């Protein structure tokens, strides 16, 4: 980290953040500002921890706005994988691209929950799953994705999805993808029926939410996109630009009867307005269930689209937000500015 910060290494952006004790700001590793003495800096794994430690974001490198963007080398790798799903990029080839395998491993582990090689394998299998469901012959799928034997493919497929490829035509899986936003990267999950997950990648509950979804839908998850993911990506861009006030992408939000009622009540809060936890409880006919409403609000798995950020304390204060209060404030600011311009 010391070397990366000293050399302004952009390949480490998003992997850690640097707090400068003498100025009280925190930066990305590639920040162009003058470098402080080593004894005057400390390191943080995520921006949230730097904020909690009392640091404010640097105005030059803007770690909250652009720190979550994929480094150029990572974008290039992902583009190669999408263009050629059968590609196998080994450590030697990574070094030819100027990428240290250890750097790729750390980055993919942090941002995708798996190593780079595991991501490539999961992406190949996800593509294979989609092709089998669309009616492609199994032999063609196996050969088309670089597997040398039927048994090797079947074993890998079963480990990934919990079902043999021959039974995959009537099955589905959770497609997990990365989406860039002005407030940092988000992870989206989609089934064949709609979006079921939209969370900021630094939320502590993210892994638990993925496991809950896998159990609720009885599906495995793997990197991938579908039409719903692409629709969501476009709608989010319009939302952050202030051009969209109502999401139209289909969503799925399984939960207990009470949780579903709370989430449906959130969907009814008009754009540019807020409601209190008490308001929601009264709307549901359970005025004493304020704490239960707050708990269900915090378990919302489809942030922004199901607008849990529009729920505030009775006194008007922001209250809690899984993505961080600074994000909640920014989302409400976006919506209030749009309403004021109408």
Q: Distance between CA 63 and CA 25 in Å, rounded?
A: 10
pLDDT at 236: 95
Pair (54, 116) in one structural domain: no
299, HSE (Cβ side, Cα atoms, 13 Å): 19
Q: Distance between CA 224 and CA 82 in Å, rounded?
A: 9
Domain finish residue from 121, 148, 170: 170
Q: Distance between CA 308 and CA 296 in Å, rounded?
A: 10
Q: What percent of the chain has pLDDT over 70?
A: 80
Contact residues for 14 (Cβ-Cβ < 8 A; gap 6+): 28, 67, 68, 69, 70, 71, 107, 110, 111, 185
> pLDDT tens, 5-16?
988 887 787 778
pLDDT at 57: 80
> pLDDT tens, 140-188?
555 555 555 556 666 665 565 566 655 555 567 788 888 888 888 888 9
Query: Does residue 206 contact residue 109 with C-beta atoms inside 8 Å?
Result: no
Pair (11, 88) in one structural domain: no
Q: Given a cut of 60, is residue 36 above it in pLDDT?
A: yes
What's the pLDDT band for 65 if we cut at 50, 70, 90?
A: low
Q: Distance between CA 196 and CA 36 in Å, rounded?
A: 44
Give yes or no: 308 in active site.
yes
Q: What percent of the chain has pLDDT over 90?
A: 30
Domain finish residue from 125, 148, 170: 170
Q: Which domain holds residue 149?
A: 72-170
Q: Distance between CA 69 and CA 182 in Å, rounded?
A: 9
Q: Is 206 within a domain? A: no
What's the pLDDT band for 210 if we cut at 50, 70, 90?
A: confident
Pair (85, 157) in one structural domain: yes
The CATH number for 8's domain is 3.40.10.10
Q: Is 155 within a domain? A: yes
Q: Is the pTM of this model over 0.85?
A: no
- Average of per-residue pLDDT values in the chain: 82
Pair (83, 165) in one structural domain: yes
Q: What does the pLDDT average to over 130-135?
A: 62
Q: Is 92 within a domain? A: yes
pLDDT at 66: 43
Q: Given a cut of 90, is residue 262 above it in pLDDT?
A: yes
Contact residues for 85 (Cβ-Cβ < 8 A; gap 6+): 123, 124, 127, 145
Q: Is 306 within a domain? A: yes
Judged by DSSP in three states, 315 sits in coil
Indicate which residue of 27, 58, 61, 196 is catalytic.
27
Q: Is 221 within a domain? A: no
Query: Does residue 188 contact residue 179 with C-beta atoms inside 8 Å?
Result: yes
Q: Given a cut of 50, is residue 232 above it in pLDDT?
A: yes
Pair (157, 79) in one structural domain: yes
Pair (76, 165) in one structural domain: yes
Domain finish residue from 149, 170, 191: 170
pLDDT at 139: 59
Pair (103, 51) in one structural domain: no
The CATH number for 89's domain is 1.10.10.60
Contact residues for 208 (Cβ-Cβ < 8 A; gap 6+): none
Give yes or no: 31 in active site.
no
Q: Distance between CA 253 and CA 251 in Å, rounded?
A: 7
Q: Which of 71, 68, 127, 126 is nearest to 97 (CA)?
A: 71
Pair (134, 45) in one structural domain: no
Pair (262, 305) in one structural domain: yes
Look at the chain and report how many structural domains it folds into. Answer: 3
Query: Does residue 54 contact residue 24 with C-beta atoms inside 8 Å?
Result: yes
Q: What does the pLDDT average to over 220-226?
A: 80
Indicate which residue of 61, 120, 196, 308 is catalytic.
308
DSSP of 206-253, one letter per residue? HHHHHHHHHHHHT--EEE---HHHHHHHHHHHHHHTT--SS--S-B--
pLDDT at 157: 58
Element housing 46 (H / E): none
DSSP of 108-171, one letter per residue? HHHHHSS-HHHHHHHHHHHHHHHHHHTT--HHHHHHHTT-S-HHHHHHHHHHHHSS-GGGGGG-
What's the pLDDT band for 67 if we cut at 50, 70, 90?
A: very low
């Amino acid at each position: 980290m010391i070397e990366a910060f000293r050399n302004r290494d952009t390949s480490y952006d998003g992997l850690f953040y640097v707090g400068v004790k003498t100025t009280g700001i925190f930066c990305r590793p590639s920040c162009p500002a003058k470098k402080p003495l080593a004894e005057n800096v400390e390191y943080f794994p995520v921006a949230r921890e730097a904020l909690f430690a009392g640091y404010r974001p640097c105005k030059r490198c803007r770690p909250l706005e652009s720190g979550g963007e994929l480094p150029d080398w990572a974008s290039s790798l992902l583009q190669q994988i999408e263009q050629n799903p059968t590609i196998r990029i080994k450590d030697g080839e990574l070094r030819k691209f100027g990428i240290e395998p250890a750097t790729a491993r750390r980055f993919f582990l942090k941002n995708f929950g798996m190593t780079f090689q595991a991501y490539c394998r999961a992406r190949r299998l996800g593509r294979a799953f989609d092709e089998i469901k669309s009616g492609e012959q199994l032999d063609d799928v196996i050969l088309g994705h670089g597997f040398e034997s039927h048994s090797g493919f079947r074993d890998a497929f079963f480990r990934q999805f919990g079902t043999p490829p021959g039974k995959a035509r009537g099955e589905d899986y959770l497609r997990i993808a990365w989406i860039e936003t002005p407030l940092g990267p988000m992870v989206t999950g989609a089934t064949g029926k709609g979006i079921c997950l939209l969370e900021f990648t630094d939320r502590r509950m993210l892994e638990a939410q993925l496991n809950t979804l896998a159990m609720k839908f009885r599906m495995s998850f793997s990197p991938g996109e579908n039409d719903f993911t692409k629709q969501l990506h476009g709608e989010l861009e319009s939302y952050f630009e202030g051009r969209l006030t109502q999401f139209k992408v289909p969503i799925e939000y399984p939960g207990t009867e009470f949780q579903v009622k709370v989430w449906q009540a959130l969907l009814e809060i008009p754009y540019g307005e807020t409601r209190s936890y008490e308001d929601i409880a009264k709307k549901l006919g359970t005025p004493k269930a304020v704490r239960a409403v707050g708990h269900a609000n915090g378990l919302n798995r489809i942030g922004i689209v199901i607008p849990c950020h529009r729920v505030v304390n009775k006194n008007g204060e922001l209250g809690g937000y899984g993505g961080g209060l600074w994000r909640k404030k920014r989302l409400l600011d976006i919506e209030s500015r749009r309403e004021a311009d109408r």
